[in-house]
Structure 1
Amino acid sequence: MQYGPAVRRRKLGAELRALRARAGLKSGEAARLVGWHQSKVSRIETGRSGVKPADVELLLDAYDVRDAELRELLVVLAGSDDNGRHHWWHAYRGLLPSTYSDFISLESQASVMRTLENSVVPGLLQTPEYAREVTLAAVDGAPDDKVDALVEVRLARQDVLRSNPPLRLSAVLDEAALRRTVGGPEVMARQLDHLREAAHLPHVRIQVLPFGVGAHVGVTGPFVIFSFPSTSDLDVVVLDHLTSSLYLERKEDLQAYSEAFDSLQVHALSPEETLDFIAGVAHGA
């Protein structure tokens, strides 16, 4: 159980170690190919030290890794470099906690996102008005410019649903997330309409857990599971807390949360039933 940066270093190191082994190289041989000392390769592979994107690319060249998708993912895990090649959320670096930046970077490179939400609509499915109300509640008393910037970030994150290929999103929402009036009836009406529109996208699957289901495996709290193209070794579970996020990377944790999500989907309404349910909530049923 680690926080975001440590998880990213360790996952990146483990993947680089596997790629070196696949290339038939010992760590000393790899070090000589790129002009480093063996200890540097060892520190990177064990996650004890960070690594610059340019250094990741050196290693990938040495290991003859030509998969462009995998290369890009590993470079993103390393972070940004000093040559201006960075990602849009870095413009908000002074505003966003490092765990949130890590979350966005993972979200931007994931191929699949599975999420359970018990209280609010997931950020990727929020309208601007709803996002503002949720942000105001989370940073009560913050100046308007900070709130504006945080809302901008939340809405910019939604581009992953419009990218090519888009992120495949599976969301299970507790009925409470639909019943809780955020921002007043008009804001909620537009939010519910937006949910129904999003549910028609071929890469978005929305299911509701009605109150009638009773206690379920997700009552302990919301979670997100990110899965990545090219390799499952980088998959990670994210648990949100009030002041930080916790990242789980052990295979046992990933299996447990994957099984929990599968169970939630079985007990939830089908996507078609969910559309009717959301319409009923919108009309006061």
Structure 2
Amino acid sequence: MQHGPVVRRRKLGAELRSLRTRVGLTSGEAAGLVGWHQSKVSRIETGASGVKPADVRLLLDAYGVQDPDLRELLVVLAGSEESGRHHWWHAYRGVLPPTYRDFISLESQATAMRTLETSVIPGLLQTREYARAVTRAAVEGQDDQRLDALVEVRLARQDVLHGRPPLELNAVLDEAVLRREVGGPGVMARQLARLAEAARLPQVRLQVLPFSAGAHVGVTGPFVIFSFSRTSDLDVVVLDHLTSSLYLERKEDLTAYSEAFNTLRRHALSPEDSLDRIAGIAGISDGSYGA
């Protein structure tokens, strides 16, 4: 298990190595094309050292990589601090920890996201009121200015669902997520209405894991799997903890979590029945979501 920056370096290095070998170049030949020493290419490919976005572009040019989406993805993995539509979060560097910035950068470039949530509505589907209540509870002692900034970041992240193409979101929600009252009955009612609305989007597949499913593979905690269309070698699992995030990159981890997610989907309600369950819970008039 590694933290975000290390995983990004290793995945970027592995992909650059794959692109180099695909065009039949040795590391020494690649270094010669861009005017470097062979050891620099080796350090980049093994993830032993970071690499600047400009250097990534040099290598991609040398390897004849023209695909704009793949080029942009690899530049983002390099940790680009450049401005642009995919790097809006850099304006919030003062309030976002590095692991959160890593998460957002991956989310902005992923083509698909699978997530299990056991406690709260996924951030990409939260209303402003709900996001504020969750953020205030999760990050105690924050002043209003910082709290406002964190909420704005969470809402800005939701643009990925409406991009061209949009992120494909496949979410399994434990029923406890729907019944946990966050922010009061009014906030929760509006959040459930928003959730039902989002579930009808073609790029969103939402399933509720009912209490009747009993113990399940997801009881150990929530997780996210990011997938990338250009290369599955960049896929990654993210586990959130109170003070940090862990990124799992090994094939065995990706396979295990993908199989776990498929198992959860089989035990969950269908998307149609999930909408009915959401509507039923939202229809409780006395606000007793935990009843």
Distance 1:253 1:39 in 2: 30
**1:244 Cα deviation (Å)?**
0.3
The residue correspondences of 1:48-63 to structure 2 (distance < 5 A) are: 48-63=48-63
- Aligned position for 2:171: 171
- Aligned position for 2:38: 38
RMSD in angstroms over aligned alpha carbons?
1.0
1:192-213 C-alpha deviation (Å, 9 max, x unpaired): 0000000110000000001000
The residue correspondences of 1:1-285 to structure 2 (distance < 5 A) are: 1-81=1-81, 84=83, 87-284=87-284
Could you tell which deviates more after superposition, 126-135 or 66-75? Answer: 66-75
1:252-278 C-alpha deviation (Å, 9 max, x unpaired): 000000000000000000000001000
**1:180 Cα deviation (Å)?**
0.3
Q: Secondary structure of 1:115's partner?
A: strand
Structure 1 residues 275 and 84: alpha-carbon distance in aligned structure 2, compared to 1, 3 A threshold: closer
The one-letter code of the counterpart of 2:198 is: A
Q: Secondary structure of 1:173's partner?
A: strand
Structure 1 residues 184 and 68: alpha-carbon distance in aligned structure 2, compared to 1, 3 A threshold: same
- TM-score by length of structure 1 reads 0.98
The one-letter code of the counterpart of 1:193 is: A
**1:84 Cα deviation (Å)?**
4.5
Distance 1:229 1:250 in 2: 18
Distance 1:265 1:77 in 2: 30
The one-letter code of the counterpart of 2:128 is: P
Q: Secondary structure of 1:219's partner?
A: helix
**1:128 Cα deviation (Å)?**
0.3
**1:104 Cα deviation (Å)?**
0.1
Instruction: Say how many residue pairs are matched.
Output: 284
**1:80 Cα deviation (Å)?**
1.5
Distance 2:120 2:246 in 1: 19
- TM-score by length of structure 2 reads 0.96
The one-letter code of the counterpart of 2:161 is: L
Distance 1:243 1:7 in 2: 18
Distance 2:166 2:283 in 1: 31
1:74-110 C-alpha deviation (Å, 9 max, x unpaired): 01101124x6557100001111110000000000000
Do 1:30 and 1:59's aligned partners in 2 also have CA atoms closer than 8 Å? yes
Aligned sequence identity (%) = 78
**1:184 Cα deviation (Å)?**
0.4
- Aligned position for 2:288: none
Distance 2:239 2:262 in 1: 17
**1:153 Cα deviation (Å)?**
0.3
Distance 1:84 1:209 in 2: 40
Do 1:70 and 1:229's aligned partners in 2 also have CA atoms closer than 8 Å? no
Distance 2:179 2:101 in 1: 30
1:33-61 C-alpha deviation (Å, 9 max, x unpaired): 00001111010000010001111010000
Distance 2:229 2:209 in 1: 29
Distance 1:165 1:60 in 2: 24
Distance 1:273 1:91 in 2: 41
Distance 1:63 1:216 in 2: 46
Do 1:69 and 1:229's aligned partners in 2 also have CA atoms closer than 8 Å? no
**1:67 Cα deviation (Å)?**
1.4
Distance 1:80 1:60 in 2: 15
Unaligned runs of 5+ in 2: 285-290
Distance 1:192 1:56 in 2: 44
The one-letter code of the counterpart of 2:201 is: L
Distance 2:155 2:88 in 1: 12
1:149-187 C-alpha deviation (Å, 9 max, x unpaired): 000000000000011100000000000000000000000
The one-letter code of the counterpart of 2:253 is: D
